[in-house]
Amino acid sequence: MNALNFEIPPGTAVAVALPDVLPAVKPRRGFIGLIRRYPTLAFGSAILLIMLFIAVFAPVLWTLDPTAIATSRRTREPSLLYWFGTDMLGRDIYSRVLYGARVSLIVGFAVATLASVVGLAIGLISGFVRMADSVIMRTMDGVMSIPPILLAVALMALTRGSIGNVIAAITIAEIPRVARLVRSVVLSLREQPYVDAAIAAGTRTPQIILKHILPNTLAPLIVQASYICASAMITEAILSFIGAGIPPATPSWGNIMAEGRALWQVKFYIVLFPAVFLSLTVLAVNLLGDGLRDMLDPRMAKSV
Amino acid sequence: MLLYVLKRLLTTIPVMAIVALFVFSLLYLAPGDPAAVIAGDQATTAEIEKIRQSLGLDRPFIIRFAEWGVQILHGDLGQSLFANMPVRTMISERLEPTLSLLVVTLVLAIFIAVPMGVIAAWKAGTFVDRAIMAFGVFGFSVPVFVTAYLLAYVFALRLDWLPVQGYTPISGGLLPWFANLVLPAIALGCVYIALIARTTRATMLEVLQQDYIRTARAKGLALPGILFVHALKNAAVPIVTVIGLGIALLIGGAVVTESVFAIPGLGRLTVDAILRRDYPVIQGVVLLFSFVFVLVNLAVDLVYTLVDPRIRY
């Protein structure tokens, strides 16, 4: 018998009863779901992971000593023996390019981290301490009106070329942007009702900063940090390329291109390989940044 | 309006002072003792001390900074440590190539990027939009010297359409001048084009949703007129802002582009100065570019009133 309690003539097609509750539309969770929703994020991280792998395992990836000079094998074209060819001093470019990933990644991550931390501190102080605000912001304006690459170049001229100095120089040039971003977020958060409520409830300022302001600055800060990482990698390469960066013997993509500069019209491969690796890595970081922005800050994603 | 210009000029003074302080500290902190250099190897400590006093190098930082500031205001940027020439002369000799490069890049970039952004916004979500936005990401990611080498390799070396390197002064004919600048300008402009196109698209997307755009369409106005007159005018403020801010990118990129294309401009001067640690020259170039950048941003603020009459000061 059926539920309605009447006879169904034989031979009639009967629709299958619908379940009381339709199954919920389940967005795919976990790893694959994440890749589907944020393809740029996934693609960027994938390339970046490969670069990280290359950087860490450079010594075992069929490389030679990247600083070994051998005049007998100068400027060889790419071949089975020297995959990316050799430079003017006979150094193996494949090895130098792989080791060069280390410099780029270290500089990128170090600058992104340092600039974010210092910029965050400056931005928080500027947003909360009224007295300091105008002095800090005018200083930041001053630093920002020196084009970042020129500022880094000028700072590098003061010291000798080393990876630590390059990181410091680029960090100083990037700090104002972070500080401004954090300050603007802080100023808009301070107007939020929940912050008023916290103040009314007698919460102390450090608590407010730590519990209410800081967590909300993190999303835009992380997105900004990834863009800073990308631009730091480019700036490092530029500094090394014009001879104001990492010491020339150290394999870095900028240095390899600098060595290829004199010969680029005849030996284009010397500049080509580091150029491709550098561009790919920066692209990966930028895609990661775009993906993070879409994920963490949907409002911003819509407008840009 | 005039009052606003004056006010705005006044606010640039502290910014410029901070830039000047920064740049002066650079020379102050620079390793090496000019007095010892001038005195030579044979000099005794007393002799060096005497030269130091005669140069005023023993006086406090603030006083030296003030004196240096007065010098700068008189247009005196000091003497090069190597070329035995005033820095001002060195800079003015190299000014034309860099200025040409920057202006050509600026014009090319604006004429390429703005229509790109407008079309991307109009065709939002389609293949055309995606292609333009993909170019935007690439433009941001490929460093200027990579684009420079690739362009030079393909269009100058392989196809032989344009000169590979060098610079022809504008007095040597407009066409050779331009031919030498096309590749460097496109290479340098890539990041800038990406930046402007992205901003243009974002603002245009908002503007195109406004009622007056629908009205204009309903009236039957031609599409190009709507996009490039009605809409673009109302989207102009953020675009002009980013064009101004992006000049910093151009200035930094010019240093590299000039090295790749062997253009004897300020960028090359900077690179040579770094390699020789010629601090007064580095100082002069940084100071000049920073002041230019501050003035550009001032100009941008004033252009607002031209593109958007609703803004009044």
Residue pLDDT, tens place only, A219-247: 888 888 998 999 999 999 988 888 888 88
Q: Which of B9, B41, B76 is the last residue of a domain?
A: B76
Distance CA B237, CA B235 (A): 6
For A61, the 3-state DSSP assignment is: coil
Nearest-CA distance A72 → chain B (Å): 28
A157 touches chain B (CB under 8 A): yes
**In a domain? residue B131:** yes
Q: Which of B12, B138, B146 to mutate to test the interface with A (most CBs of A within 10 A)?
A: B146
Query: Count of alpha carbons within 13 Å of B167, Cβ hemisphere only?
Result: 24
Q: Is-contact A238 B256, C-beta < 8 A?
A: yes
Q: Which residues contact B266 (CB under 8 A, 6 or more apart)?
A: B91, B94, B95, B97, B98, B254, B255, B258, B285, B288, B289
Alpha helix segments (H runs only) across A191-213: 193-200, 205-207
Q: How confident is the model at residue A171 (pLDDT cuts 50, 70, 90)?
A: very high
- Give the pLDDT confidence score for residue A3 in this predicted structure: 53
Q: Is-contact A251 A97, C-beta < 8 A?
A: yes
Pair (B152, B34) in one structural domain? no
Chain A residues in contact with B273 by the CB 8 A cut-off are: 157
Distance CA A260, CA A85 (A): 12
Dig out the tokens for B285 from the structure.
């170039």
Beta-carbon separation of B145 and A275 below 8 A: yes
Residues of chain A above pLDDT 90, percent: 12
Query: Count of alpha carbons within 13 Å of A223, Cβ hemisphere only?
Result: 17
**In a domain? residue B136:** yes
Q: Which of B76, B110, B142 is the last residue of a domain?
A: B76
Please, is B276 exposed, middle or buried when counting C-beta atoms within 10 Å of its C-beta (0-12, 13-18, 19+)? middle
Dig out the tokens for B166 from the structure.
């060098």
Q: Is-contact B216 B139, C-beta < 8 A?
A: no
CATH of segment(s) A91-303:
1.10.3720.10
Q: Between these two residues, A201 and B77, which has the higher pLDDT value? A: A201
Nearest-CA distance B243 → chain A (Å): 14
A50 touches chain B (CB under 8 A): no
User: Average pLDDT, stretch B129-147?
Assistant: 85
**In a domain? residue B4:** no
- Give the pLDDT confidence score for residue B105 in this predicted structure: 92
Nearest-CA distance A70 → chain B (Å): 26
Q: Which of A242, A268, A271 to mutate to test the interface with B (most CBs of B within 10 A)?
A: A242
Residue-level length of chain B: 313
Residue by residue, DSSP assigns B28-79 as HH-SS-HHHHHH-TT--HHHHHHHHHHHTTTS-HHHHHHHHHHHHHTT---B
Range of the domain at B35: 22-76
| pLDDT tens-digit map of A140-163 | 888 888 888 888 888 888 877 788
Q: Model-level pTM greater than 0.95?
A: no
- Give the pLDDT confidence score for residue A146 in this predicted structure: 84
A304 touches chain B (CB under 8 A): yes
Range in A228-232, B170-174, B265-269 with the lowest mean pLDDT = B170-174
Q: Which amino acid is at B247?
A: I
Distance CA B277, CA A55 (A): 33
Mean pLDDT taken over chain A: 81
Residue B176 predicted with pLDDT over 90: no
Chain A residues in contact with B157 by the CB 8 A cut-off are: 265, 268
Quote the number of domains for chain B: 2
Nearest CA in chain A to B288: A146
Q: Which of A41, A145, A276, A304 to mutate to test the interface with B (most CBs of B within 10 A)?
A: A145
**In a domain? residue B150:** yes
Pair (B167, B238) in one structural domain? yes
Beta-carbon separation of A243 and B275 below 8 A: yes
Pair (B110, B34) in one structural domain? no
Chain A residues in contact with B283 by the CB 8 A cut-off are: 154
CB burial of B35-46 (b: ≥16 within 10 Å; e: otherwise) equals: beeebeeeeeee
Distance CA A92, CA A85 (A): 6
Residue A218 predicted with pLDDT over 60: yes
Write the CA distances from A130 to A135, A136, A194, B78, integer angstroms: 10, 10, 21, 39
Q: Which amino acid is at B14?
A: P
User: Average pLDDT, stretch B109-126?
Assistant: 87
Pair (B35, B151) in one structural domain? no
Query: Count of alpha carbons within 13 Å of A71, Cβ hemisphere only?
Result: 0
**In a domain? residue B88:** no
Going B287 to B291 to B294 to B296, the CA torsion angle's sign is negative
Beta-carbon separation of B143 and A287 below 8 A: no
Dig out the tokens for B187 from the structure.
């290479």
Beta-carbon separation of A303 and B202 below 8 A: yes
**In a domain? residue B154:** yes
**In a domain? residue B151:** yes
CATH number at residue B288: 1.10.3720.10
Q: Which of B46, B76, B106 is the last residue of a domain?
A: B76
The position carrying tokens 């931390």 is A117
- Give the pLDDT confidence score for residue A80 in this predicted structure: 67
Residue A303 predicted with pLDDT over 50: no
Alpha helix segments (H runs only) across chain B: 2-29, 34-39, 45-55, 61-73, 87-122, 127-141, 144-151, 174-207, 211-219, 223-225, 232-260, 266-276, 279-307
Q: Which residues contact A41 (CB under 8 A, 6 or more apart)?
A: A34, A287, A288, A290, A291, A292, A294, A295
Please, is A291 exposed, middle or buried when counting C-beta atoms within 10 Å of its C-beta (0-12, 13-18, 19+)? buried
Across the interface, of B23, B142, B198, the residue whose CB is closest to A279 is: B142
Q: Is-contact A219 A297, C-beta < 8 A?
A: yes
Residue A116 predicted with pLDDT over 90: yes
Range in A19-23, A199-203, B272-276 with the lowest mean pLDDT = A19-23
Write the CA distances from A155 to A162, A222, A234, B31, integer angstroms: 12, 26, 17, 12
Pair (B242, B165) in one structural domain? yes
- Give the pLDDT confidence score for residue A241 in this predicted structure: 87
